[in-house]
């Protein structure tokens, strides 16, 4: 029998994996499975399929903790942005390894993930004061799924068990944006700060704060009215660094409105004059938004000033990042195609834009129906009117 019981809840599977090419000796694969006989048979079937496809790789005795550590230090560190990598490291070290790390990688089962999700929701906080949010647990599921997918890709696993586990579905949060009628009031209040042009740029382009603070004059073409996002400022441990954008899609070109072009021209001229007076010759590589000596602005200070402006103007509290959401929401409500909005924001694809701003879509659907009705009526007004007259006559 290829599946035999070893003890309660423990099964041994074995199968013929061919002959040793050097000695001709028959080779067998043995593996111990914890759980039900059904799990053992399922694992056996997976191995048989991998042998038939020629993708079988003799599994090494590594735990999930060892694999997650290897994945973080190898794949994640070289293929993800700094913030993403830091977040993955934190969640894996603080939550996933303590809860699931001792399980052998090849023995991980969907039910074990399901049990973890349930426990994390009720008792997952590190301080022991309750559970994690559904959104955080869903994030853990995504991390596990990505790590296991990579293990499948390199042959350590035959399948990704996270694909059949069901993470919790968090409730969609209401997106905070600046109301259209509040924008003049907001901009007027920002004129009393050193960051008026910066705030104006954020609102009129939908750029992230790091992208704005990493913008150089050589990235801006005021004659052609566009700017290019090619680097982003990131602050860690009190030190500001310039990094590549978070993804290839974040590296993009953004068209500028005429009002923003005019404002940036005036701002550039004033900035150059001030720097010349300080004895510093302007350069194309100078940051657009910086201190007079050219040093980058602190993103924390900018965000703090933004919050103070809202409070002073008696406007609802939103994050600086919500200026980005405001930009996208207003464009979509105005009828701009979601693909264009997606490109301006630097989303990987239009699906992300549609999902993020789905709250705007119902109104767009209604407006589309009305526009289509108006279009057909206008183009076929005479025929439609005649047909309506005929129907009315029939009714009489």
pLDDT of residue 368: 73
Asked whether this chain's domains 64-164 and 180-356 adopt the same fold, the reply is no
CA dist 42 and 36 (Å) reads 10
171-214 confidence digits (pLDDT tens): 777 788 999 999 999 999 999 999 999 999 999 999 999 999 99
pLDDT of residue 46: 72
- Mean pLDDT calculated for residue range 296-301: 95
Topology at the third CATH level for domain 64-164: DNA polymerase; domain 1 (1.10.150)
Topology at the third CATH level for domain 180-356: hpI Integrase; Chain A (1.10.443)
Packing angle, helices 183-190 and 196-205, rounded to 10: 150
Q: Which of 287, 374, 38, 321 is nearest to 206 (CA)?
A: 321
Query: What are the φ/ψ torsions at residue 294 (nearest 5 degrees)?
Result: 95, -10
Query: What are the residue boundaries of the structural domains of the chain, listed by start?
Result: 3-53, 64-164, 180-356, 361-395
Residue count of the chain: 396
CA dist 165 and 149 (Å) reads 14
CA dist 294 and 101 (Å) reads 47
pLDDT of residue 383: 58
**Sign of the dihedral through C-alpha 199, 201, 206, 209:** negative
Comparing 57-61, 124-128, 151-155, 223-227, the range with the smallest average pLDDT is 57-61
pLDDT of residue 187: 96
Comparing 31-45, 99-113, 180-194, 267-281, the range with the smallest average pLDDT is 31-45
Tell whether the model's pLDDT for residue 77 goes beyond 70. Answer: yes
């Amino acid at each position: 029998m290829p599946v035999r019981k070893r003890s309660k809840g423990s099964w041994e599977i074995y199968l013929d994996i061919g002959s040793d090419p050097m000695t001709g000796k028959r080779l067998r694969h043995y593996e111990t499975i914890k759980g039900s006989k059904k799990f053992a048979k399922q694992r056996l079937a997976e191995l048989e399929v991998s042998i038939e496809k020629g993708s079988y790789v003799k599994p090494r005795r590594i735990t999930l903790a060892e694999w997650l550590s290897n994945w973080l230090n190898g794949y994640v560190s070289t293929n993800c942005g700094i913030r993403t990598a830091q977040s993955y490291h934190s969640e894996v070290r603080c939550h996933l390894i303590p809860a699931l790390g001792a399980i052998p990688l090849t023995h991980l089962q969907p039910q074990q993930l399901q049990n973890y999700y349930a426990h994390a929701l009720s008792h997952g906080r590190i301080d022991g004061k309750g559970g994690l949010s559904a959104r955080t647990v869903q994030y853990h599921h995504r991390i596990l799924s990505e790590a296991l997918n990579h293990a499948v890709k390199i042959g350590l696993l035959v399948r990704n068990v996270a694909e059949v586990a069901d993470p919790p579905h968090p409730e969609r949060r209401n997106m905070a944006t600046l109301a259209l009628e509040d924008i003049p009031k907001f901009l007027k209040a920002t004129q009393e700060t050193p960051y008026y042009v910066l705030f104006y740029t954020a609102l009129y382009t939908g750029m992230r704060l790091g992208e704005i603070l990493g913008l150089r004059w050589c990235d801006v073409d005021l004659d052609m009215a566009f700017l290019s996002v090619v680097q982003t400022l990131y602050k860690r441990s009190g030190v500001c660094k310039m990094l590549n954008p978070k993804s290839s899609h974040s590296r993009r070109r953004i068209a500028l409105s005429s009002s923003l072009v005019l404002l940036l021209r005036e701002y550039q001229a004033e900035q150059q004059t001030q720097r010349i007076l300080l004895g510093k010759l302007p350069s194309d590589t100078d940051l657009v938004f910086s201190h007079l000596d050219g040093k980058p602005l602190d993103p924390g200070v900018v965000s703090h000033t933004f919050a103070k402006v809202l409070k002073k103007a008696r406007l609802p509290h939103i994050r600086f990042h919500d200026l980005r959401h405001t930009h996208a929401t207003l464009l979509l409500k105005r009828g701009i195609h979601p693909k264009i909005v997606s490109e301006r924001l630097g989303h990987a694809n239009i699906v992300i834009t549609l999902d993020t701003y789905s709250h705007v879509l119902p109104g767009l659907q209604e407006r589309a129906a009305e526009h289509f009705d108006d279009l057909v009526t206008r183009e076929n007004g005479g025929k439609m009117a005649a047909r309506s007259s005929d129907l009315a006559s029939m009714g009489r």
